[in-house]
Structure formats: structure tokens, C-alpha cells
Amino acid sequence: MNFSSLLKVCFFCLILSGCSSYLTSYENISPIKNTYEKILVIGRSKSKTARIKFENSVVDQLKESGISAVASHTAKAIIDMNKKYSESELATLKKNLMTDGFDGVIVTNLINTEEYTDVIPGGTSTTYIPRRVGRFGRYFAYYPVTTWEPGELKSGTKYNFESSLYRLTDDPGENLQWIGSFAVKDPSSLEKTVNNYAKDLTEALLKNSISN
């Protein structure tokens, strides 16, 4: 296998393995990296299993970096994910969270799903054909014969997520610190997907918005 073919195969395997980052874009709202005493991690999902695994993974990633965090599914007495809060109730919820020592909240939502088609680039391969030259009676020179290998298409479903970090101790009103968009294509393993997402999310937050 020549180098071009090997490069194409490696690129194809990289796409299939999902090793690349899920983070597609982000905006650092606050130019200051802040420290946090305790962060509440919320993953909004219809799947209770997915929510629990995701929240736990983010909490574990933050704790590895010295950041105290709590998964919302363990804080049922504080927040009800099935309830639609009014403005006054949200103000009370914020007050209760701060009373319990929380000064930050990370919220992750599934925005939408969409079908996608990726074009995996083709390449060329070259074979050197020996040429028999006159009376020397041996293969003396080699002519390159190049063939083109067409590209491939990969289709599937893409899940678009959004994660946001809020600082509760900021002035009333806008307290969004960081927001990021994430895309997950054809997740085959819940465990692997939530762990990769949590890793990308916490790395981005620690790099841009959270000081440890």
C-alpha cells in the first residue's frame, strides 16, 4: 500500500472511531477565568440513563482538575428537571442553590438532530512498471502508472448539543460565562460518547473560563 492509500485509510478510520473533538465552536462571554466553590452539572435528556452517565462523567472530569462539582440527579431536593419554572421560581431556585454553596451551573441541552453526508476524499496510487531495455537483457528502468481512487460517502445522523456555564454570584440578569456547540455523529457507545463529550467540555472550560 502506497503512502496516499495509507493516509486515506487512516483518515477514514479516524472518522469512524470518533476520535476527533465533539466541540465545533464556542464563545467565551467573560474574558476573566473565575474560580468556583461548587458547580452544579445539569444534563437535560429524555433518557435518564444518558443523563446520569453524562453528569457523572463531567463531575469526575472536573474533580480530577480540583473543581468541586455535583450532578443534578443527586440534588433532587434542590432542582426538579421535570418542572417548568416561572421567573419568580427561578429566582428562588438561584437563591436556594447559592444557599447550598453553589456558585456555578453547567447546563447541557440537545438542540436538534440532522442527517449528514461526509465526503471521504479519494486518492491516487502509483505502480512502477519495469521496462526491458534492449540488449542489456534486464529490467533497466521503471515507468510510473498512476490510477485514481474515487472518494467515498458516509451518511448518518448528527446530534447537535449546546453547553453553557453560568456564574450565580454575578449581578442579577445576564450571568452566562461560556457557551459551546458540540456535534456527535452516529454514537455507537453511550459510555464512550458521554466520556468524550465530558472530556471536550471540561477541557474547553478549564482553558477558557474556569480557573483551578
Residues 116-175 have pLDDT tens digits of 887 777 777 776 656 555 544 444 455 666 777 767 777 889 999 999 999 998 766 679
Whether residue 35 is predicted with pLDDT greater than 90 in this model: the reply is yes
Look at residue 64 and tell me if it is in a domain: yes
Mean pLDDT of 38-43: 95
Q: Look up the CATH number of the domain holding residue 189.
A: 3.40.50
Question: Could you tell me whether strands 104-120 and 69-71 are parallel, antiparallel, or unpaired per DSSP bridges?
Answer: unpaired
C-beta separation of 185 from 143 below 8 A: no
Residue 147 domain-assigned? no
CA 72, 76, 77, 79 torsion-angle sign: positive
Is 193 a domain residue?
A: yes
Q: Is residue 11 part of a domain?
A: yes
Per-residue pLDDT, averaged over 82-86, amounts to 83
pLDDT digits (tens, 9 = 90+) for 171-188: 666 799 999 999 999 888
What's the CA gap between 149 and 7, in Å, rounded?
A: 13
| Strand-strand pairing, 23-28 and 176-185 | antiparallel
Instruction: Give the position of cell 429524555.
Output: 46
pTM of this prediction? 0.75
Residue 153 CB neighbours (<10 A): 8
Q: Examine residue 132 and state whether it is found in any structural domain, yes or no.
A: no
Mean of the per-residue pLDDT values of the chain: 81
Q: Would you tell me the crossing angle of helices 190-208 and 48-64 to the nearest 10 degrees?
A: 40
Domain count, the chain: 1
**Domain span including residue 186:** 3-118+152-208
Higher pLDDT, 65 or 4: 65
